Amino acid sequence: MKSKNKKLLCASLLTGCTLLGYFIWFSLRPVEVIAVHQRRNYSDVLVRNFPLTEQGKINWWLKNKKNLNDTYSIPKPAKDGFFTVIFWDLGDGYKETDGYDRLCFEKMKPPINCIDKNSLMMVVYSKNTGLYFRLDSGKYYIKANGEMEKRKY
């Protein structure tokens, strides 16, 4: 009986270590910016390996916003400062339009110029609202004192 318990404990420990290792590897993969599509003050950024958590996504933006501006000229604000940057999961890559629910980019030659709509995060700035992040569970506003306030939908 003791031998079975030891085998079960070892198998459980090995499984747990394997899952933990996979999670660590998965969460440490660098974000890949595959493409940037711009229309006026809106930027669509196609990515792979985006952080899994909402706080991870916001932290990634805060850490990389200067590099995104230097490399891709995003965000591209309007004269009044308004901008929107939407991060999309590229998934299986560009596809043909389905005539219904894919996001298609006009500046690309059809037919392979669309992606599945899987938005990961939206970053918006306007004079009225200030900077906020739109994520699955709500909007995160940056207050004047630098603190973050979450508002549910």
**Three-class secondary structure of residue 22 per DSSP:** helix
108: Cβ contacts below 8 Å, ≥ 6 apart: 37, 94
Within this chain, do residues 18 and 61 fall inside the same structural domain, yes or no?
Answer: no
Q: Are residues 22 and 90 in the same domain?
A: no
Q: Provide the pLDDT for residue 150.
A: 95
63 lies in the same domain as 136: yes
Has residue 5 got a pLDDT over 70?
yes
Q: Are residues 67 and 37 in the same domain?
A: yes
| Average pLDDT for the chain | 91
Six-digit token string for 120: 């990961």
pLDDT recorded at residue 15: 82
For the cut 70, the answer to whether the pLDDT of residue 29 exceeds it is: yes
Per DSSP bridges, beta strands 83-89 and 42-48 are parallel
Based on the fold, state whether residues 93 and 133 are members of the same structural domain: yes
**Domains contained in the chain, number:** 2
* 83 and 16 in a common domain: no
* Pair 121, 88 in one domain: yes
Question: What residues make up the domain containing 95?
Answer: 31-151
Tally Cβ neighbours within 10 Å of residue 137: 9
Q: Is the pLDDT of residue 1 over 80?
A: no
Of 4-8, 80-84, 88-92, minimum mean pLDDT range: 4-8
Residues 62, 109, single domain; the answer is: yes
Decide: 90 and 103 in contact? Cβ < 8 Å.
no
Going by C-beta distance under 8 Å and a sequence separation of 6 or more, which residues neighbour residue 144?
130
At 26, the pLDDT band (50, 70, 90 cuts) reads low
In this prediction, residue 25 carries a pLDDT of 59
142-150 long-range contacts, Cβ below 8 Å, gap at least 24?
148/58
Residue 87 has what pLDDT?
A: 98
When pLDDT is cut at 50, 70 and 90, the band that residue 9 belongs to is confident
Residues 57 and 128 in one domain: yes
Q: How confident is the model at residue 149 (pLDDT cuts 50, 70, 90)?
A: very high
Q: Are 85 and 76 in contact (CB under 8 A)?
A: no
Verify that 93 and 112 share a domain, yes or no: yes
On the question of pLDDT at 2 being above 90, the answer is no
Q: Where are the alpha helices (DSSP H) in the chain?
A: 2-28, 54-72
User: Regarding predicted confidence, which is higher, 149 or 18?
Assistant: 149
Shared domain for 6 and 71, answered yes or no, is: no
> Do 97 and 127 share a domain, yes or no?
yes
CA distance 68 to 79: 20
